[in-house]
């Protein structure tokens, strides 16, 4: 079996149709330089066991159409440097079990269109350094079970348009360091005067939402 697959320079790897790519056990898949990995159609990419998927440099990973990316078991997905991970269309990214997704350096994770990102079980999503996580369009981010989402350093989390962020069960959202801003755009029209200003003040000053 292939245990290490590097995609470097302007290299490209695509998973389309009903195709499937899995990174399991101690297997590793890395996207560096300007490498690109796209999961489209009904393609599926799964990171399981202790498998690892890293997106560094200016590497890019996109999940579009009805494509699916899952990080389960103790699998790990990291977006560092200026790497980018986007979930668009009806694409789905799930972090379950003890899976971990980290966005560091100037890495960026965006959930747009009707894309969905879910963190369940004991899964963990961290945004650190100057990393950025944005949920736009009708995109959805949910943190359930004992899942955890942390925004540290100068990291940023923004929810715009009709995007949705939900924290349920024993899920936790913590905002620390200088990354103390959670931005919610296009607020309801029926809000009472001063209500949203007070909520924004509370969101900015608290360490846990």
| pLDDT recorded at residue 22 | 81
Nearest to 164 by CA among 144, 142, 192: 142
| pLDDT recorded at residue 144 | 85
| pLDDT recorded at residue 160 | 81
Q: For residue 205, is pLDDT > 60? A: no
Give residue 17's region: left, alpha or beta (phi > 0; psi -120 to 50): left
Whose structure tokens read 């003890």? 98
Q: How confident is the model at residue 198 (pLDDT cuts 50, 70, 90)?
A: very low
| pLDDT recorded at residue 181 | 62
Residues 81-119 have pLDDT tens digits of: 888 999 888 889 999 889 899 988 888 999 888 889 998
Q: For residue 121, is pLDDT > 50? A: yes
Residues 150-186 have pLDDT tens digits of: 888 787 888 887 888 888 878 788 777 765 567 666 5
| pLDDT recorded at residue 185 | 67
Residues 1-48 have pLDDT tens digits of: 556 677 777 767 877 777 788 887 787 888 888 888 888 888 898 888
| pLDDT recorded at residue 200 | 47
For the chain, the average pLDDT equals 80
DSSP state for residue 192 in the 8-state scheme: P
| pLDDT recorded at residue 127 | 87
* Spatial CB neighbours of 123, under 8 Å, sequence gap ≥ 6: 71, 94, 95, 96, 97, 98, 99, 100, 101, 145, 147, 148
| pLDDT recorded at residue 209 | 41
Of 204 and 61, the one with more pLDDT? 61
């Amino acid at each position: 079996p292939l245990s290490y697959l590097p995609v470097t320079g302007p290299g490209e790897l695509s998973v389309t149709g009903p195709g499937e790519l899995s990174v399991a056990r101690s297997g590793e898949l890395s996207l560096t330089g300007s490498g690109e990995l796209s999961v489209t159609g009904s393609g599926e990419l799964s990171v399981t066991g202790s498998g690892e998927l890293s997106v560094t440099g200016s590497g890019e990973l996109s999940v579009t159409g009805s494509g699916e990316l899952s990080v389960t078991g103790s699998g790990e997905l990291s977006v560092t440097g200026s790497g980018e991970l986007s979930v668009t269309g009806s694409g789905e990214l799930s972090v379950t079990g003890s899976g971990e997704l980290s966005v560091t350096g100037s890495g960026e994770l965006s959930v747009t269109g009707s894309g969905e990102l879910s963190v369940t079980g004991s899964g963990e999503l961290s945004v650190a350094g100057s990393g950025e996580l944005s949920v736009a369009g009708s995109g959805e981010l949910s943190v359930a079970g004992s899942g955890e989402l942390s925004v540290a350093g100068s990291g940023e989390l923004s929810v715009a348009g009709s995007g949705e962020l939900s924290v349920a069960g024993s899920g936790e959202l913590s905002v620390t360091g200088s990354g103390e801003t959670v931005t919610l755009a296009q607020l309801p029209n029926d809000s009472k005067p001063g209500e949203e200003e007070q909520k924004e003040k509370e969101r900015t000053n608290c360490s846990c939402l």
